[in-house]
Amino acid sequence: MFVLPEWRNRGVGTALLEAAESAAAARGDQGVSLAVSTGNAAARRLYTRLGYADAGVPVHRHATTEPGFDSDGHSGNETVIDLVKRLDGVAAAAWPAARGGDRSRDAR
Ligand SMILES: CC(C)(COP(=O)(O)OP(=O)(O)OC[C@H]1O[C@@H](n2cnc3c(N)ncnc32)[C@H](O)[C@@H]1OP(=O)(O)O)[C@@H](O)C(=O)NCCC(=O)NCCS
């Protein structure tokens, strides 16, 4: 997940993660897991606030690709911790079902 620096701290990251959780719930997933760099305090605060907890897996090295603009992205390795969140109580998104669901509108 990446939010442009000038758009951070306005709730965009929270909204993106909540949308991903709703989409996962809509397809029947029971939980979400993610990996976050152990040194990434801002991201870890966000995940903790949204209910993510330590998965209990030892921290490990993980290949990453940072997005970039104007071809300035880069790949590397970082030390990450795995976090998990169960989706009990997360409302399923309406949009994945609606896409293929109601075809009566298309027929008109
Ligand atoms: C981590 C990241 C995705 C968070 O995105 P974001 O859009 O800043 O996230 P939010 O705005 O939802 O939350 C960030 C903070 O803003 C606060 N906030 C949210 N809406 C706000 C608002 N309207 N006014 C003021 N503050 C607000 C949140 O409470 C949160 O505070 P905290 O840092 O004390 O926890 C972003 O920092 C980023 O792209 N980082 C670089 C890439 C990265 O590290 N990605 C994660 C890899 S695992």
Question: What's the pLDDT score for residue 21?
Answer: 96
Question: What's the pLDDT score for residue 97?
Answer: 53
Kindly state the average pLDDT of the residues 30-52. Answer: 95
To which H or E segment does residue 62 belong? strand 60-66
pTM equals 0.85
pLDDT grade, residue 103 (50/70/90)? very low
Q: Would you say 13 and 46 are in contact if contact means Cβ atoms under 8 Å apart?
A: yes
The residue assigned the tokens 């009990």 is 88
Q: Would you say 54 and 102 are in contact if contact means Cβ atoms under 8 Å apart?
A: no
Q: Is the CB of 79 under 6 A from ligand 1?
A: no
* Spatial separation of the C-alpha atoms in residues 99 and 45, rounded to whole Å: 34
Q: Output the CA 31–ligand 1 centroid distance in Å.
A: 22
Question: What's the pLDDT score for residue 71?
Answer: 63
Q: Tell me which residue has its CA closest to atom 1 in ligand 1.
A: 43
Q: Tell me which residue has its CA closest to atom 19 in ligand 1.
A: 11
Q: Output the CA 50–ligand 1 centroid distance in Å.
A: 11
Helix extents (H) in 1-108: 12-26, 41-49, 95-100, 104-107
Spatial CB neighbours of 81, under 8 Å, sequence gap ≥ 6: 35, 36, 38, 44, 54, 55, 57, 59
pLDDT digit string (tens) for 50-101?
999 999 999 999 887 776 666 667 778 889 999 999 999 888 888 655 454 4
Domains and CATH numbers, the chain: 5-87 (3.40.630.30)
CA atoms within 13 A on the CB side of 44: 11
- Closest-CA residue to 20 (of 8, 6, 31): 31
Q: Output the CA 107–ligand 1 centroid distance in Å.
A: 43
